[in-house]
Amino acid sequence: MLGGGSGDPFASVAAALLRSGMRDVVAMAYSLYVSGAQQFPPAFYRRLFEEGNIAAAVRAGRQHMWQHDKRICVLGEFPLQDWLLPVLYQQDPLNFSFAASARKDFVPRASRLPEELRKEKNPYGFVGRDSAILGMERALRRPPAGILIQGLGGVGKTTLAHGFLRWLDSTGGLGEGCFWFGFQEIRSAEYVFNRMGEALFGGQFSIEAMNKKIEALAGAFNQHRFLIVWDNFESAVGISGTAVTRNLPEADRMLLADFLDSLRGGASKVIITSRSPEDWLGPQRRFVLPLGGLDREERWEYCNAILRDLGKSVNRNDKDLVELMNLLGGHPLTSWRR
């Protein structure tokens, strides 16, 4: 957007990019709601790879926004006329016609997710969590092997881990694959090591000595990129004063801590979900990512998905609904149960 008092015709970001040598720039003429941004890119890229023409792709994206105008924004659900905002700045059209012929030979990448994760379905989809996803992506580049998603029960820690893995899998960032362990039923660290070792080295792995197991796993995981998930990890230590009891003896917990030490700075990471901050692990073993409720547009988008499933619609002028939403604080599972 060009400021009204600007005397430089190249003061906008898009125009400055053209002046720097870019041949085509698609930009927004004004701020755009997330719900609008969700509509434009899929239609834009679909047409771009079908025809190879950027101008036609922009037109398709704008048409899709116009045809799906009733969307959630910070003030409620309205027929938004934001299809005018995407603008094409062009000084020399790029030719992407090769994309149409390339699509004929395209073979989708095989999923590296475990079968149980591929079958897992969320009835309301994966909503929001942009900042949390960004935080997790940055944490992948930090030295600690553990990435701890910490928050209240039902706030969406497991859902976030699922969504993050699916996103990495679909974009080629999952590496060699992933392992998922739910600690509600796990009673020993050796069980975790054996399942991973058997998948990587074969059935004889379980008869090896414990130090040999950790050494072999560390070697493989440090050299090759894997994602390992320890879900509901609060069950390993328990939470005092609650119904969450301790499933693992101290010796087994120390083995898991040693395993995290052996992966520090390596190619693989362990995503941990827990109600507890797991202070016993220490900052050298895990980077803490606090998770709260859904915020702003996200909570209303989730609310709309639930009510739509019930054959109802969101009325943002309903004071009781607004009060209830504020009370729930964007807590997904509480919202679903209510």
Task: Tell me the pLDDT tens digit for each residue of 261-299.
Answer: 999 999 999 999 999 999 999 999 999 999 998 887 788
Q: What topology does CATH give the domain 115-290?
A: Rossmann fold (3.40.50)
The single-letter DSSP state of residue 188 is -
Q: Which of 64, 1, 56 is nearest to 35 (CA)?
A: 64
Mean pLDDT across the chain, nearest whole number? 87
Q: Which of 18-22, 197-201, 241-245 is modeled with the greatest confidence? A: 197-201
| Average pLDDT score over residue span 231-252 | 90
Question: Is the predicted pLDDT of residue 231 greater than 70, yes or no?
Answer: yes
Residues of the chain with CATH 3.40.50.300: 115-290
What pLDDT, on a 0 to 100 scale, did the predictor assign at position 37? 84
pLDDT of residue 338: 45
Instruction: For tokens 């090896």, name the residue.
Output: 208
For 131-144, what is the mean pLDDT?
A: 94
Global confidence as pTM: 0.79
- pLDDT band at residue 10, thresholds of 50, 70 and 90? low
Question: pLDDT at position 192, please?
Answer: 96
Res. 163: pLDDT tops 70: yes
- Average the pLDDT over 151-169 and give the result: 91
The most confident of 55-59, 67-71, 91-95, 124-128, by mean pLDDT? 55-59
Mean pLDDT of all residues in 307-317: 80
pLDDT at 26 over 70: yes
| 165: nearest Cα among 153, 155, 152, 179 | 179
Mean pLDDT of 172-180: 91
Mean pLDDT of 144-162: 93
Question: Which tops the pLDDT comparison, 289 or 99?
Answer: 289
> Across residues 143-165, what is the average pLDDT?
93
Cα dist from 293 to 298, 311, 330, whole Å: 9, 24, 4
Mean local confidence (pLDDT), 142-155: 94
pLDDT over threshold 50, residue 203: yes
- Intra-chain end-to-end CA distance of the chain, in Å: 43
Amino acid (1-letter code) at residue 114: P
SS3 state at 226: strand
